[in-house]
Amino acid sequence: MPHWRLMKAGDLASVCAIAAEVHPDFPEDDAVFANRMMLHGQGAYILESGAAALGYAITHPWKSFDIPALNTVLVTLPGGSENYYIHDIALVKAARGSGTAGKIVTKVTDHARELGYRTMSLVAVNGSAPFWERHGFATADRPELVEKLKSYSEDARFMVRQLR
């Protein structure tokens, strides 16, 4: 039975392989995944079944109504932020439709609430906006993000969820 657990340094090779498979149009250097885990390890998860890695989730605090540039190593996370950012949730094809994506969204939402964040945000790509809408996210049109969103894809959408 697949289950989510906190990511460990030894999981990074699997995470990078999953990212290359699931997001070939959004390549990120291995250093980006290591960076996010180092900056906010309690927001980095791996989906495993036995010894097989089937997915990952990378999340961390970030500025409200902003997105980090794709494939960018961050020096630090912003202090005093009221927003929790979902950098990526990726599942290999065999794990899709199993309900595990919804489970990690719930886990991450609970984590963000426990830490006192007011909102969560993300960039929806690959037609995933309906999934995110089912989990309480809504598109937020932000003119200042148009160019950054285009660096993801033409149909990328910035989405926000209120937590309180």
**Inside any domain, residue 104:** yes
We report the CATH number of the domain holding residue 125 as: 3.40.630.30
Per residue in 22-34, pLDDT (tens digit) is 999 889 999 999 9
Considering just the CA atoms, what is the radius of gyration of the chain in Å? 15
SS (H, E, C) 106-123: HHHHHHHHHCCCCEEEEE
**Inside any domain, residue 120:** yes
Phi, psi of 2 (to 5 degrees): -65, 145
Higher pLDDT, 86 or 153: 86
Could you tell me the CA-to-CA distances from 64 to 49, 121, 142, 147 in Å, in that order? 35, 8, 11, 17
**Inside any domain, residue 68:** no
- Report how many domains make up the chain: 1
**Inside any domain, residue 117:** yes
Q: Give the range of the structural domain holding residue 103, as residue numbers without chain letter.
A: 3-63+79-162
Tell me which residue of 142, 159, 49, 161 sits closest to 95, measured CA to CA: 49
Task: Report whether 121 contacts 138 (CB < 8 A).
Answer: no
**Inside any domain, residue 144:** yes
- Over residues 35-60, the mean pLDDT reads 97
Per residue in 88-138, pLDDT (tens digit) is 999 999 999 889 999 999 999 999 999 999 999 999 998 999 999 999 999
Sheet holding 3-6, edge to edge: 3-6, 44-49, 52-62, 83-91, 119-124, 157-162, 138-139
Tokens 């929806």 locate to 124
**Inside any domain, residue 72:** no
pTM for the full predicted model = 0.95
